[in-house]
């Protein structure tokens, strides 16, 4: 990747990071603000960012809403706070009892507790809304493993089609998503495998690539793969001078390089070309939960087909979103 492209990619990464952070901060601080307002605690300033103020507006309640120059955070300054941290308190001895009631330190314990708790609760609500929205928009894979769309591969001939229900792979039955995952994880590392499918009401057997052929499902940001120009959908035919039949063969090849450049042969949209990338050492969590250092190139595996999706109902959406939130939290 040339220098200009690298700079452009970094700029977009920074932009979206700041955008995401600003949304998260706004929701968090708005939780503090709105519950404080409801409980009688006055907010003097609501700021996205720190430092010099770029824009500000005062609302009818006397709160100044502003955007500041340093976009890495934000705050709500309540009445009685000496600074944006809400830790150091101003001298409120000259205030009346009614005025002190509208400060953070003068409010009753229930109001202070609710206001402090509201920030993280607002972030949990945001997470739930985002997860539920994604589920409603995208759906979930069908219970029967069904082909949605195929990734282009160098495999010749017709094998799977959109709408095919996969009944078995390599002679092992796959009646549902759980069994499909278990069967795929135990398949031999061979380039082609038999699929027994249901198509238009008839059962038939076709031969195609391993479900986890060496297909690039995702390229990680600021990785060796991104710098070398790898793209999602690329098929890695050779790595380090070895033919690659399945994606799971790549980690061992990369580890054996010990950080030396690794030549790759790539298939992309009907064309084959070579490139070289240098693995980078990363600290990752292993299967036992321990942190270890491993050489990586920054790609994630992808199935050779996208699973067919189905819509989720309201109750199922709530249940799945809460389940994902719990998994993320724990």
| CA 278 vs CA 219, 220, 262: distances in Å | 15, 15, 6
Is residue 1 over pLDDT 50? no
CB of 72 closer than 8 Å to CB of 61? no
| pLDDT digits 0-9 by tens, 28-73 | 999 999 999 999 999 999 999 999 999 999 999 999 999 999 998 9
> Which two tokens mark 259?
């950080």
Torsion of CA 134, 138, 140, 144, to 10 degrees: -170
> How many other C-beta atoms lie within 10 A of the C-beta of residue 323?
11
The domain spans of the chain are 3-138, 141-212, 216-306
Residue 250 CB coordination number (10 Å):
22
Tokens of residue 248, six digits? 């799971």
Domains 141-212 and 216-306 share a fold: yes
Q: Where are the beta strands (DSSP E) in the chain?
A: 43-58, 64-78, 140-141, 147-150, 165-169, 172-173, 192-199, 202-209, 216-219, 235-239, 242-243, 262-268, 271-277, 280-285, 291-296, 299-301, 305-307, 309-310
Is the pLDDT score of 3 beyond 60?
Answer: no
Topology (CATH level 3) of domain 216-306:
Pdz3 Domain (2.30.42)
Q: Which residue has the higher pLDDT, 156 or 311?
A: 311
Residue 29 known to be catalytic: yes
DSSP string, 305-325: EEEPEE---HHHHHHHHHHHH
End-to-end CA distance of the chain: 39
Q: pLDDT tens across 219-275, in order? A: 998 899 999 999 999 999 999 999 999 999 999 999 999 999 999 999 998 999 999
pLDDT value of position 253: 94
pLDDT for 2 beyond 70:
no
Higher per-residue pLDDT: 85 or 27:
27
Q: Flag whether pLDDT at 330 surpasses 60.
A: yes
**pLDDT at 158 > cutoff 90:** no
Report residue 7's pLDDT band, with 50, 70 and 90 as the boundaries: low
Interhelix angle 109-138/3-38, nearest 10 degrees: 130
* Burial (CB count within 10 angstroms: exposed 0-12, middle 13-18, buried 19+), residue 127: middle
d(CA 154, CA 213) in angstroms, rounded, equals 11
User: Average pLDDT of the chain?
Assistant: 90
The answer to whether the pTM exceeds 0.85 is no
Q: What is the pLDDT of residue 93?
A: 74
Superfamily holding 141-212: PDZ domain (2.30.42.10)
Query: Choosing from 29, 162, 306, 316, which is the catalytic residue?
Result: 29
Is residue 4 over pLDDT 70? no
């Amino acid at each position: 990747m040339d220098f200009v492209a690298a700079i452009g990619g970094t700029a977009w990464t920074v932009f979206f990071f700041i955008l995401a952070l600003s949304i998260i901060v706004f929701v968090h601080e708005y939780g503090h603000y709105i519950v404080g307002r409801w409980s009688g605690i006055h907010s003097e300033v609501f700021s996205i960012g720190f430092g010099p103020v770029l824009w500000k507006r005062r609302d009818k309640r006397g709160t100044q809403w502003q955007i500041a120059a340093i976009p890495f955070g934000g705050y709500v300054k309540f009445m009685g706070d000496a600074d944006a941290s809400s830790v150091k308190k101003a001298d409120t001895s000259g205030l009346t009892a009614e005025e002190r009631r509208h400060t953070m330190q003068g409010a009753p314990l229930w109001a202070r507790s609710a206001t402090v708790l509201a920030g993280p609760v607002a972030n949990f609500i945001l997470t739930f809304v985002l997860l539920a929205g994604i589920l409603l928009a995208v759906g979930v894979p069908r219970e029967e493993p069904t082909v949605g769309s195929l990734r282009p591969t160098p495999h010749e001939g017709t094998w799977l089609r959109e709408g095919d229900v996969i009944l078995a792979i390599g002679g092992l039955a796959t009646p549902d998503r759980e069994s499909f995952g278990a069967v795929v994880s135990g398949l031999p590392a061979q380039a082609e495998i038999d699929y027994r499918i249901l198509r238009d009401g008839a059962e038939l057997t076709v031969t195609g690539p391993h479900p986890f052929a060496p297909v690039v499902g995702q390229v990680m940001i600021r990785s060796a793969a991104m710098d070398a120009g790898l793209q999602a959908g690329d098929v890695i035919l050779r790595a380090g001078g070895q033919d690659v039949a399945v994606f799971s063969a790549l980690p061992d090849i990369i580890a054996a390089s010990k950080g030396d450049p690794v030549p790759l042969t790539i298939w992309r949209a009907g064309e084959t070309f070579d490139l070289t990338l240098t693995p980078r050492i990363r600290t990752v969590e292993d299967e036992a939960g321990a942190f270890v250092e491993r050489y990586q190139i920054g790609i994630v595996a992808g199935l050779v087909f996208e699973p067919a999706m189905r819509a989720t109902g309201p109750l199922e959406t709530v249940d799945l979103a809460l389940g994902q939130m719990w998994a993320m939290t724990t």
